[in-house]
A and B are shown apart, each in its own frame.
Chain A
Amino acid sequence: MNCLNCGTLLNESSHCPKCGFDAVVQKKVYLMSNQFYNAGLEKAEIRDLSGAIDLLQRSLKFNKLNIPARNLLGLVYFEMGEAVSALSEWVISKNIMPENNIAAEYINRLQSNGNKLDIINQTIKKYNEALNCCRNGSSDIAMIQLKKIVTQNPKFIKAYHLLALNYIEQNAYEKARRILKKAAKIDKTNSTTLRFLREVDERTGMQTSLESRWGSKFFGSGKDKGAEEYNAGAAAVVIPPTFRESSVFATLLNLGFGLVIGALVVWFLVVPANTQKINREANNKITEYSNAMASQASQLSKMEDEIEESEKTVKTAADQIDEAGKQVESYENLIKAFNAYREENYTNAANALMNVDAALLSVDAKAIYDSIYEDIRSTLFNKYSETGKEAYDNGDYATAIDQPSKAREMDGTDYEVLNYLALAYRDSGDNENAIKVFKEIIAQFEGTKRATSAQYYIDVINGVETDETGSEAVQGSDVTDDDSGSGDSGTGNYDDGADNSGDSGGNGSDDGSSAGDGYDDADYDNE
């Protein structure tokens, strides 16, 4: 900075070191110029080109020698498609400071690319023609021209404005909106752009969003890698060559992120949810089947219990029927016995009474049974005894045991009954009971031949040798064993009516039919 008065280079002092001129105002003017330049630079960085032009023009009004401000102003003009204005600023800048001025480089670059300069020049001429067409009422031709212009020179903001105005005039508001949005991307705060957009918004009733679809934080703003840098003095202005919502790399990155996030969502959310759903359904099925099985098992168990109960009931009913049958039979036999007893046919009465089971009778019936039984006891006794003997002779040892047993119950002191019973036991192979009965005989008839004979039989069963007497006695007794059916002399010899009657005197009701039964009693007694 030189002194206005003498041209001397000024220092930090407020006065000129040579002439002492008060340089406060001069310094303030330079300071204001620089401040406007800085503000204009900030505006240019955020693509507020209209604001930048205004501030830079003010800066140059304070100090026309502010080279950075002038170069930046040229850049901003160039960015807005106004190449002539830009060249003017750069030419002036180059004239003010011919050396070390970046404006010279800008001019050289533009001139070296003649094709581009030619295109710019053509678009400017076409724009002027289009403007004339509009003024002459040939807006259709003007619009065709303007569309070509914005294609050839996408930064020509005036062409966008004129095209948008024509669209608005033709009520093609959406087309106007698209064109104005493109213009807004070049210059965010252009008053014409904003005014036309407001008009479109009012007419369509829809607010125009100037924000990028993907947001300005990530793409399309800031310092891109491929952005052109123009060094204007001490400051650097970054102006992207073209405005893009997103680069190819960003799109691919987005796709990659989307795929990864999608895969993660599927892996961490969808797959576990699906697995859980399948498991839950399987568990529900298992529970259902378990419940069904438990229910069926319970029903089966219940039915088995019912079957068992039914079987028991059937068995009980069968037993009751059987018992009832026996009871009926007993009663029938009791009636038969009673009828026979009334007719004094004691034999038949005894036969019928034999088949009566006294345990099944009622109290009254049992009283009748006892009464008849007492009266025909001897008859019944003889019947049992005779039946036993006959059965023994016929080899029916079961009856031969059963009948004498009943007789023994009636009178346990009758030798004949005991002897046949013992023999029947012996011959049926039941030696134990046979010995028991033989011992009973020995006990009851101790010291007699009957006891000796019984002892002999016991010894034979036990395999012990006996003396001669016993043997003979056995021989005599044995006659009744095998040869009784032949009617040998033994029977006749032993038959002694007097002795027999005396022996069987216990049978008070003996009717003499048993006289011949005491075949060996007399002999033994006499001995």
Chain B
Amino acid sequence: MINYEEELKKFKPCLDVDEVESAVYSRDLTDVIDILKEMMETDGQKEKE
């Protein structure tokens, strides 16, 4: 059984066109490659130490 109020909470307001820039900047673009690079850097620092 659907609860109207509960379902309404799932609906989020849409960003309008004016907010594209902020939306782009707020995007988290981290991917697995970034994580791998970070891991390598961390490993390299440990080796230097």
Residues of A in contact with B (beta carbons under 8 Å apart): 4-5, 25-26, 29, 60-65, 82-85, 87-88, 91-92, 117, 120-121, 124-125, 127-128, 131, 134-135, 158, 161-162, 165, 168-169, 192, 195-196, 199
Decide if A61 touches B32 in the complex (CB within 8 Å).
yes
Over the window 1-28 of chain B, the binary record of Cβ atoms lying under 8 Å from chain A Cβ atoms (1 yes, 0 no) is 1101001101101111111100110010
Besides A88-B23, A127-B13, 9 other CB < 8 A contacts?
A29-B36, A63-B31, A63-B32, A88-B24, A91-B20, A124-B17, A125-B16, A131-B13, A168-B4
Q: Of the candidates B10, B33, B40, which one forms a contact with A5 in the assembled complex, judged by CB atoms under 8 Å apart?
A: B40
A168 to B8, CA, bound (A): 12
Say whether B37 faces chain A, with CB atoms less than 8 Å apart: yes
Pairs across A and B, CB under 8 Å, 20 listed: A4-B36, A26-B33, A29-B32, A29-B36, A64-B34, A84-B17, A84-B19, A84-B20, A88-B20, A88-B23, A88-B24, A91-B20, A117-B17, A121-B18, A125-B16, A127-B14, A134-B8, A158-B11, A162-B11, A199-B1
Decide if B2 touches A83 in the complex (CB within 8 Å).
no
Number of A-B pairs whose CB atoms are under 8 Å? 86
With contacts A165-B2, A165-B4, A199-B2 taken as known, whether A84 is within 8 angstroms of B32 at the C-beta atoms is: no
Which B residues are in CB contact (< 8 Å) with A29? Answer: 32-33, 36
Decide if B14 touches A82 in the complex (CB within 8 Å).
yes
Decide if A92 touches B33 in the complex (CB within 8 Å).
no
Decide if A84 touches B15 in the complex (CB within 8 Å).
yes
Q: Which 6 A-B pairs have the closest CB atoms?
A: A64-B31, A84-B15, A128-B13, A121-B17, A169-B4, A124-B16
Nearest B-chain residue to A122, judged by Cβ: B16
Residues of B in contact with A (beta carbons under 8 Å apart): 1-2, 4, 7-8, 10-11, 13-20, 23-24, 27, 29-34, 36-37, 40
Decide if B23 touches A84 in the complex (CB within 8 Å).
yes
Which B residues are in CB contact (< 8 Å) with A82? Answer: 14
In the assembled complex, how far is the CB of residue A160 from the closest CB belonging to chain B, in whole angstroms?
Answer: 12
Which B residues are in CB contact (< 8 Å) with A161? Answer: 11
A195 to B18, CA, bound (A): 32
Nearest B-chain residue to A156, judged by Cβ: B14
A125 to B15, CA, bound (A): 8
A421 to B40, CA, bound (A): 179
Decide if A87 touches B20 in the complex (CB within 8 Å).
yes
Q: Of the candidates B2, B7, B16, B31, which one forms a contact with A84 in the assembled complex, judged by CB atoms under 8 Å apart?
A: B16
